[in-house]
Amino acid sequence: MNDMSEEDAFEAYEQRPLSQQAMGVSPYLSDLNPPQREAVETLDGPVLLLAGAGTGKTKALTTRLAHLIHTRRAWPSQILAVTFTNKAAREMKNRVGGLIGGAVEGMPWLGTFHSVCVKILRRHAELVELKSSFTILDTDDQIRLIKQIIDVEGIDPKRWPPRMFASMLDRWKNRAVSPGKVPPDECGFANGRGGELYRIYHERLRTLNAVDFGDLLLHVVTILQTHPDVLADYQQRFKYVLVDEYQDTNVAQYLLLRLLAAEHRNICCVGDDDQSIYGWRGAEVENILRFEKDFPDATVIRLERNYRSTPAILAAASGLIAENKSRLGKTLWTEEPDGDPVQIRGVWDADEEARQIGDDIEAAQAKGVKLSDMAVLVRASFQMRAFEERFIHLGLPYRVIGGPRFFEREEIRDAHAYLRLVKSQDDDLSFERICNKPRRGLGDKALQTLHLTARGQSISLMRAARLMLETDELRPQARKSLRGFVEAVDRWTLAAADIPHTELAEMILDESGYTEMWKNDKSPQAGSKLDNLKELVQAMGEFENLAGYLDHVSLVMELDQDSSGDRVSLMTLHAAKGLEFPLVFLPGWEEGIFPSQRSVDEKGQEGLEEERRLAYVGLTRAMESARIFFAANRQVYGRWQNAIPSRFIDELPKQHIDIVSEPGLYGAPASNMPGLSRFDATRVEEDTYYDNPGWRRARAAKARKSAPPPLLEGKAELMTTSAPDASAYAVGERIFHQKFGYGRISAIEGNKLAVDFEKAGAKRVLESFVEKT
């Protein structure tokens, strides 16, 4: 049968009676290469498919699912298939339908870990003393509950912020640590009361008939571990277990998989250690090694042929990831036709970056490329703002994937509510949104009273608040808080007349305690929220006044609500996992942004390697063209800062990259361009390369070692002569930096110094910004 041509096979498949389907030819198999086929057809026993990006892991997994159903090895309801997002689950279902012809009836266990666990938990809630109608708390509810507990227990919430405890809970739950099992050295919260608080919290949730996100997994694992009959039932049911993006599972998820697959042992996991990017959320890439240990008889399959990207993109990505020390290592090859090298483009600042990317997108569109074939992948959500504004300005339809649009983010909406209230004190929606955010003791009861008064007298909440301050209707504590709030809004309203609107925003965010609230928040998202707030202040600077800015926001929010049709995709690198696009833009490759300073500060080498994996994920999303951008200047809180190109740019193999100045000028020496202004490409080039010694030195070294790329021909010599060879500094030397103060040099790399600052910690800085002491 295998000798049949593909066409014949299809025809035979189409025409045969339903009853024979299970024995017939499977045309979908002919689309696969031999190791992929092995992954699909090795149906008995554990299978680990470990392979690099774009090698067809997801395709193999989807085909395996189709094959199981098609060959009647299992009914759809007997297969547990875990994907990383609900969207991926939907896609997988559609593709399975496509592969075996016709819609698949019911795939109840195809989804994310969370969606699968909700289903199991609803069935057996009573086993963990819950009712099946339990509610799932969102983060806000969870924080409120922790706050109550902390209050009742007489713990100082300033010293021990509820959000800090929430992230500890999260970490325990990711590792399937149940209450009562917290290791003593992790109980430090509130002077050693961490474990006890976990127990109290857990009890409270039970009384409320509620769970948090982490509980969904933890409860299910507990049920399976403590109720052999239930476990046996699921083990029987799930004849096959399939897992995509396996490298990003956490311990609790791994335990769940191991428990469920223990009976049939038909578990197939696919993943890539080089794409493990959720360590900060508890994912453990070691699960790959655990798998091989727990299932020593596993068939381990490797795929090496990449079907997605051009050789240049693949080589650039492989060269980059080779810098990571902790990896299993693998080779990748492709038969795709030669493509353009990866473009690296230096620009003046973030606006210029957005402008050039917008222009590139329009140019590609004019050549017939679909918008949905293009994506902009950013490291941090604050970077999205400039692109969204640019796309709106150009009228380019776009879609933000995996999260809200910039102006729809929680922290941005909160900040806007403060600003709107200052602009118009009768804005009830804004009042309601932030009068108790951060918490200032204005609970639901106080708000209810305010509402009653406001409604009774047909006045706004703010006016009602002023009336309430003169009466005894509110409890003294609530009245005091309300007075503080009303006075603050009045103060800001007065200030608004005197100070620039950006300063006003900083003042409000600061005095209201809003920024402080996120600073105290130890959850992984807090840092990016703070960055977004900074970006917001920055964005306001582009408008003449507050009213102008708020009008702009309303317009932006109004536009483009409909997300159908052909659109450019904008998303974070994290959200891009598993996806692919012909043309990919990778902006903001600068030290501090990418690699993220926060990751490196918090997790050192490990953090840096995770950042590098993220860069690898980014590059490998591109099928035909990848364009990396870095800006020479970034504005943070209104102050310009020199930016250093990301070390990841230096690490890309030079034969696969090309430095480009501007579209259309590919390869032309920038110095040939006549009379351009400060913001134009030539100047950008000069500013970028000449004002930035780190980059200049790196390029100079490259120019010496190898033939320079065409663009640099005119410059190579200049750079060689202008860049001094030896650093004026020595490792161990004490220096002074204007921003970070005193510190000692721990390493020297070209003109970049790694310095352990006495106050600011470890940072990489430019030599030209430090002084000898």
- The whole-angstrom separation of Cα 234 and Cα 56 is 30
Q: Name residue 422's amino acid.
A: V
State which of positions 277-336 bind ligand ATP (CB under 6 A): 307-308
CA 116 vs CA 77, 121, 153, 252, 343: distances in Å: 12, 9, 35, 14, 42
- The whole-angstrom separation of Cα 541 and Cα 606 is 37
- DSSP strand E in 372-523: where? 374-378, 398-400
Catalytic-residue membership of 538: no
| Number of residues counted as binding ligand ATP (CB under 6 A) | 18
- The whole-angstrom separation of Cα 343 and Cα 313 is 10
Q: Which of 111, 195, 214, 578 binds Mg ion (CB under 5 A)?
A: 578
Which of 639, 729, 645 minimizes the C-alpha distance to 687? 645
311 binds Mg ion (CB under 5 A): no
Output 317 or 344, the one with its CB closest to Mg ion: 317
Give the active site residue among 212, 215, 244, 373.
244
- The whole-angstrom separation of Cα 418 and Cα 422 is 6
Q: Chain centroid to CA 658: how far? A: 28
Catalytic-residue membership of 650: no
List the single partner that 308 binds among ligand ATP, Mg ion, none, CB under 5 to 8 Å by kind. Answer: ligand ATP
Give the active site residue among 621, 647, 752, 764.
621
Q: CB-hemisphere CA count at 13 Å for 608?
A: 16
Least Å from the CB of residue 51 to ligand ATP? 6
Residues of 479-494 as b/e, b for ≥16 C-beta within 10 angstroms?
bebbeebbebbeebee
Q: Which of 9, 27, 50, 58 binds ligand ATP (CB under 6 A)?
A: 58
Could you tell me what percentage of the chain is helix, strand and coil, using 3-state DSSP and rounding each to the nearest 5? 55, 15, 30
Question: Of the ranges 52-60, 275-283, 466-474, 558-566, which one interacts with Mg ion (CB under 5 A)?
Answer: 52-60
Give the nearest residue (CB) to ligand ATP: 56
71 binds ligand ATP (CB under 6 A): no
250 binds Mg ion (CB under 5 A): no
Taking residue 670's Cβ as centre, other Cβ atoms within 10 Å add up to: 23
- The whole-angstrom separation of Cα 40 and Cα 133 is 39
Q: Which of 214, 341, 346, 578 binds ligand ATP (CB under 6 A)?
A: 578
List the single partner that 708 binds among Mg ion, ligand ATP, none, CB under 5 to 8 Å by kind. Answer: none
Output 272 or 349, the one with its CB closest to ligand ATP: 272
Question: Of the ranges 54-62, 98-106, 196-204, 496-504, which one interacts with ligand ATP (CB under 6 A)?
Answer: 54-62
Residues of 617-626 as b/e, b for ≥16 C-beta within 10 angstroms?
bbbbbbbbbb
Least Å from the CB of residue 275 to Mg ion? 9
Question: Of the ranges 57-65, 346-354, 510-518, 635-643, which one interacts with Mg ion (CB under 5 A)?
Answer: 57-65
56 binds Mg ion (CB under 5 A): no
Q: Which of 272, 388, 506, 521 binds ligand ATP (CB under 6 A)?
A: 272
Structure tokens belonging to residue 546: 């507050």
694 binds ligand ATP (CB under 6 A): no
Least Å from the CB of residue 32 to ligand ATP? 5
Residues of 220-248 as b/e, b for ≥16 C-beta within 10 angstroms?
bbebbeeeeebbeebbebbbbbbbbbbbb
Q: Which of 26, 36, 55, 58 binds Mg ion (CB under 5 A)?
A: 58
- The whole-angstrom separation of Cα 57 and Cα 158 is 48
Give the active site residue among 36, 37, 55, 58.
58
Output 328 or 747, the one with its CB closest to ligand ATP: 328
Binding-residue pattern over the window 18 to 37 for ligand ATP, x denoting contact by CB under 6 A: -------------xxx--x-
Q: Which residues pair with 68 in a beta bridge?
A: none
574 binds ligand ATP (CB under 6 A): no
- The whole-angstrom separation of Cα 42 and Cα 61 is 12
Catalytic-residue membership of 58: yes
- The whole-angstrom separation of Cα 739 and Cα 725 is 26
Catalytic-residue membership of 379: no
- The whole-angstrom separation of Cα 473 and Cα 181 is 46
Give the active site residue among 170, 212, 215, 245.
245
Catalytic-residue membership of 129: no
List the single partner that 53 binds among Mg ion, ligand ATP, none, CB under 5 to 8 Å by kind. Answer: ligand ATP
Q: Are 585 and 629 in contact (CB under 8 A)?
A: yes
Output 55 or 633, the one with its CB closest to ligand ATP: 55
List the single partner that 55 binds among ligand ATP, Mg ion, none, CB under 5 to 8 Å by kind. Answer: ligand ATP
List the single partner that 377 binds among Mg ion, ligand ATP, none, CB under 5 to 8 Å by kind. Answer: none
Which of 176, 703, 24 minimizes the C-alpha distance to 10? 24
Per DSSP bridges, beta strands 752-757 and 761-766 are: antiparallel
Catalytic-residue membership of 138: no
52 binds Mg ion (CB under 5 A): no
Least Å from the CB of residue 595 to ligand ATP? 21
Least Å from the CB of residue 88 to Mg ion? 8
Chain residues binding ligand ATP by CB under 6 A are 31-33, 36, 51, 53-59, 272, 275, 307-308, 578, 580
Chain residues binding Mg ion by CB under 5 A are 57-58, 578
Residues acting as catalytic residues: 57-58, 244-245, 275, 621
